[in-house]
Structure 1
């Protein structure tokens, strides 16, 4: 029987359209595509809570899904604008529905704030391209979300904001030098969320498209010395996307199979489906 997923897009309409113009898919569409690559019988609905007047599922509607996934976003949650507050309210309803939920980057931040945590701009600056030397905590080493991850790993990432205060019922599962909360389990109102600050759903091709729209940022914040260097770096990612066996490029950029191989890069998403969605679908009598 097919698994029903709701993919909640965190971006506004303009940001969604810009991503689709550059990549061919909105972020939520791309995330749905990744889910369907992991499990061919997944059926996805999309929701856009940043849009005023959008038709969002109520509590019973959320309970009808086998899994809920939250995407990243260009928004900053501490701005607390109406298009952000709607997303926080929706996440509280997700918790109350007790439907298994997972999120990347913005998704983790929304889940943390909805449960009483806090998110702020990282004083260490932006993490962009890849989150390096991610290390499972003691709890994370045996947690099913990180099953199969080594003692240290990298993952695609782009964010300036971080979870600075975890909710009361939260377990930090992974960390690195840039952010103390890189993966977490959060429980509220009987519902449990698994999330990561990085982007296991990003292929190197999608990451390259995102960075190509941010070359000024790469140069302005000191990641690249000039535009030509930024373009060269982005070109290398595009090549590695098409040719993951290019050892010269993977060596040059310090990338291993945890990033280069889709089945490893998407590990957390796969673990969420295997350890949360499928068992709970069965437990709820949906198998």
Structure 2
């Protein structure tokens, strides 16, 4: 199985992520894919960069799946690093290769097919998206197979999908975000996406929140950056020692976040469909 990871981060943000977590977002996502499907071969493309290209000799049609990462960019900003990613997603749709995306990935896929993205009028959703609830369509959809009637997931986003394209369906929502999961069908392609981050371990989420400490304090999530440091320490400790029920209880975290198989369920469901052959192709 050959998977293309589309790392949506610009170069400076990729390096900050590497400095805090030890891997770029694309490398971290590839590691999650390899943990789920050890035989998968993952290539990474960096379309925020002006000189980005697929690996030599590769075409989109040579991949079994395309996965889009998150990004600190805003898809409604008309700048080259954004336009390249929207155009790449349009090419993915045209290729017919099944695709999946987290957060920014969902937003880019929506815009590439005719939807819109705006800042969330309710503000930032960060840490964990709480009580994500599958829609009627989502309860029977393969993307969310195995999820309960309500669940939490790692997240960090300021923007949301405001309107979906014509051939799309909302699969899950919560109080903060109307489109937490969706399927988009466009041209020859099928995209499954989530606004949250099933790929994030607690340690990766901690690294991101640590990097955002000043902003999170300014926005009122914490009284000051030192409180962010305590929260980050809790996440890292719990990731290293899942027996710390005191920390899990304090932050209201259950197996939907703490069990790796449950946390990454949407990625597992997507890859299983891709491994089945042409099950997701139009």
**TM bracket (short chain):** over 0.9
Structure 2 unmatched runs, 5+: none
Q: In the alignment, is residue 116 of structure 1 matched against residue 114 of structure 2? A: yes
* 1:73-88 mapped onto 2 (5 Å cutoff): 73-88=71-86
DSSP-derived class of the 1:74 partner? coil
Using structure 1 for the length normalisation, give the TM-score.
Answer: 0.95
Closer/same/farther in 2, CA of residues 282 and 178 from structure 1, 3 Å limit: closer
> Structure 1 runs of 4+ off > 4 angstroms?
281-284
Report SS of the residue matched to 2:277. helix
Task: Describe the superposition over 1:107-155 as per-residue Cα deviations: whole angstroms up to 9, x where unpaired.
Answer: 0000000000000001100000010000000000010000000000000
Aligned position for 1:280? 277
Trace 1:206-225 onto structure 2 (pairs within 5 A): 206-225=204-223
Match of 2:91 in 1: 93
1:283–1:273 CA distance, 2 compared to 1 (3 A): closer
Distance 1:117 1:47, change over 3 A: same
Match of 2:9? Answer: 11
Counterparts of 1:176 and 1:36, CA distance in 2: 30
Q: Is the 8 A contact 1:145 1:194 kept in 2?
A: yes
Q: Does 1:160 align with 2:161?
A: no
Separation in 2 of the partners of 1:102 and 1:162?
A: 17
Partner of 2:230: 232
Give the superposed CA RMSD: 1.6
**Structure 2 length as normaliser, TM-score?**
0.97
Instruction: State the partner residue of 1:271.
Output: 269
C-alpha separation in 1, matches of 2:43 and 2:225: 39
Deviation digits for residues 235-266 of structure 1 (CA, Å, limit 9, x no counterpart): 10001110122111111100000000111000
Q: Is the 8 A contact 2:184 2:192 kept in 1?
A: yes
Q: What 5-or-longer segments of structure 1 have no aligned partner?
A: none
Tell me what 1:71 maps to: 69
C-alpha contact (below 8 Å) 1:171/1:186 kept by paired residues: yes
